[in-house]
Amino acid sequence: MKKLKLTAAQMVDDARARINEIETADLIAKLDDPNLVIIDIRDVRERKKSGFIPGSYHAPRGMIEFWVDPESPYFKPVFGEDGKHYVFHCASGWRSALSVATLQDMGFEASHLKHGFSDWVKQGGPTEQSE
């Protein structure tokens, strides 16, 4: 196989160098903030298997750019709320880093949970299970 010009790990490193990363303990401490919107970009099967952060909004990674763009026919109003602080997460922080970097390029300000949902669970962050 031909060597890639840029690896996935390099893309994540580049994204992390230019976005805001939030440590798990800091996000747990902010859960009561009414201006906080936690966006879970994991696959629906991941949420069902391992649970999710209470109150988080599920937005599959494949639709993020379209759901955030107010000019898109797929726009979701949750992404148009003024004064909100959006924090995206995936399982380990790779997908969310790439997503937030892309959204930042679009002009949408957001942060991501540095070590993802797996660290959230490890550090005792609250979770819920879907029915």
pLDDT, tens digit, 9 for 90 and up, residues 51-89: 999 999 999 999 999 999 999 999 999 999 999 999 999
The model's confidence at residue 101, banded by pLDDT at 50, 70 and 90, is very high
Angle, helices 94-106/8-16, rounded to nearest 10 degrees: 60
131: in domain: no
pLDDT higher than 70, residue 127: yes
Facing residues of 58 across strands?
Answer: 40
Q: Please give the pLDDT value at position 130.
A: 78
Q: Please give the pLDDT value at position 131.
A: 58
Q: What is the CATH classification number for the domain harbouring 27?
A: 3.40.250.10
Contact 7, 108 (CB under 8 A): no
How far apart (Å, rounded) are the C-alpha atoms in residues 99 and 87? 11
C-alpha 3, offset from chain centre: 29
Q: Check residues 1 and 54 and name the one with the higher pLDDT.
A: 54
Q: Please give the pLDDT value at position 1.
A: 87
Domain that holds residue 118: 20-122
Does the reported pTM lie above 0.85?
A: yes
Q: Please tell me the total count of domains within the chain.
A: 1
11: in domain: no
For residues 14-37, average pLDDT: 97
Contact 111, 21 (CB under 8 A): yes
